[in-house]
Amino acid sequence: MAQRGFTLIEVVVAIGLLAIVMTLVYGAFARSVDVTRDTAEASERMRQVQVITERLVDELSAAYWFADNGGRGRFEGSSDTAAGADTRRDRLVWTTFAHRRYVADRPESDVSQIEYRVEADPDGATGRLVREERSNVLSDAPWAVQTDDMAEGVTEFKLRYLAGADWVDAWEAKPRQGLPRAVEVTVGLAGVGRAPAERVRTVVALPLAGTR
């Protein structure tokens, strides 16, 4: 008995069903790839914020300033209030004991001068958080300067300083006013792709506050 072959209609229907199945499979795969990418981007943004805040905690908690320092110790925080409350791009320069030595036998001091600032992107909507460290600040040798980009897409870098019971937007250490009791740090990063924006706030106590 001869076997019956497929009719043209059956072939067309089968191809159509196969195309539908392949489209569904591809759509599910594409969505899975998008979710994986978005999760990775969100994790990277959160990691960046954590690295910034953890480093600021280490370096601010080791802040150093004395009136009799030959002008080499600094703690100066300025506020960019013109940018608005939610888009502040403040700047802070201070002396700290938190200098990291990467070469064990290199004659470096533990004291360095650190600056954090935001450099605006061309569109002005976001900026780059820049960290600049000057080592050998207590010696007569030329200062070694290292500049690093800590993060891109910065929407906010807001600093406030605890003076007594009040928070202020700017600070300059002087003989009658040493270090603030604490520094409040707020970092905001724009979202990337479908990853949401990140905003983290932390408060760092300064153990040497009040020392002059």
Q: Which residue has the higher pLDDT, 152 or 68?
A: 152
pLDDT higher than 60, residue 2? no
Instruction: Render pLDDT for 92-105 as a digit per residue (tens, 0 to 9).
Output: 999 888 666 544 55
Instruction: Render pLDDT for 161-181 as a digit per residue (tens, 0 to 9).
Output: 998 889 999 999 888 888 999
Instruction: Render pLDDT for 50-100 as a digit per residue (tens, 0 to 9).
Output: 889 999 999 999 998 876 666 567 899 998 765 555 578 899 999 888 666
Residue 132 lies in a domain: yes
Residue 78 lies in a domain: yes
Average pLDDT in the 105-113 region?
66
CA dihedral for 165, 169, 175, 180, sign (positive or negative): positive
User: The pTM is what?
Assistant: 0.74
Residue 210 lies in a domain: no
Given a contact cutoff of 8 angstroms between Cβ atoms, the answer to whether 92 and 159 are in contact is yes
Residue 145 lies in a domain: yes
DSSP 3-state assignment of 82? Answer: helix
141 contacts: CB under 8 Å, gap ≥ 6: none
Residue 17 lies in a domain: no
Structure confidence at residue 184 (pLDDT): 96
Residue 195 lies in a domain: yes
How many structural domains comprise the chain?
1
Residue 119 lies in a domain: yes
Structural domain span for residue 162 = 45-205
Residue 8 lies in a domain: no
Which alpha helices (H) appear in the chain, and where do they start and end?
Answer: 8-61
Range in 121-130, 170-179, 200-209 the model is least confident about: 121-130
Average pLDDT in the 28-47 region?
69
Token pair 């990291």: residue: 100
